Amino acid sequence: MDFLPLFHKLKDRLVLVVGGGEVALRKARLLSDAGARLRVVTPEVRDELRQMVEQGAGELHLRGYETRDLQGVCLVIAATDDEPLNAQISEDCKGLGIPVNVVDAPALCSVIFPAIVDRSPLIVAVTSGGDAPVLARLIRAKIETWIPATYGQLAGLAKKFRAQVKSLFPDVQQRRVFWEDVFQGQIAESVFAGKLAEGERLLQDKVNGAAPRALGEVYLVGAGPGDPDLLTFRALRLMQQADVVLYDRLVAPAIIELCRRDAERLYVGKRRAEHAVPQEEINRLLVKLAKEGKRVLRLKGGDPFIFGRGGEEIEELAAEGIPFQVVPGITAASGCAAYAGIPLTHRDHAQSVRFVAGHRKDGSFDLNWADLVSPSQTLVFYMGLTGLTDICQQLIAHGRAASTPAALIQQGTTQQQRVYSGNLSNLAELVAEHEVHAPTLVIVGEVVSLREKLAWFEGAQASV
- Residues classed as catalytic: 248, 270
Judge whether 455 and 419 are in contact, CB under 8 Å: yes
Q: Using an 8 Å Cβ cutoff, are 143 and 184 in contact?
A: no
Annotated binding site: 22-23, 43-44, 225, 301-303, 306, 331-332, 383, 412
| Angle at the Cα of 100 from the Cα atoms of 96 and 105, rounded to 5 degrees | 130
Residue numbering of the annotated binding site for S-adenosyl-L-methionine: 225, 301-303, 306, 331-332, 383, 412
Q: Helix crossing, 196-208 with 172-183: angle to 10°?
A: 150
- Of 372, 449, 346, 439, the closest CA to residue 405 belongs to 449
Cα–Cα nearest to 385, from 452, 443, 445: 443
Segment (H or E) for 370? none
Known binding positions for NAD(+): 22-23, 43-44
Q: Count Cβ neighbours within 10 Å for each residue of 177-215 and write b for 16 or more, e otherwise.
A: bbeeebeeeebbebbeeeeeeebbebbeebeeeeeebee
61, 41 contact by CB (below 8 A): yes
First to last CA, the chain: 36
Inter-residue contact 329 to 297 (CB < 8 Å): no
Strand boundaries in 339-464, DSSP class E: 352-357, 377-382, 405-410, 418-423, 440-444
Nearest to 296 by CA among 280, 314, 278, 277: 314
Strand partners, 265: 245
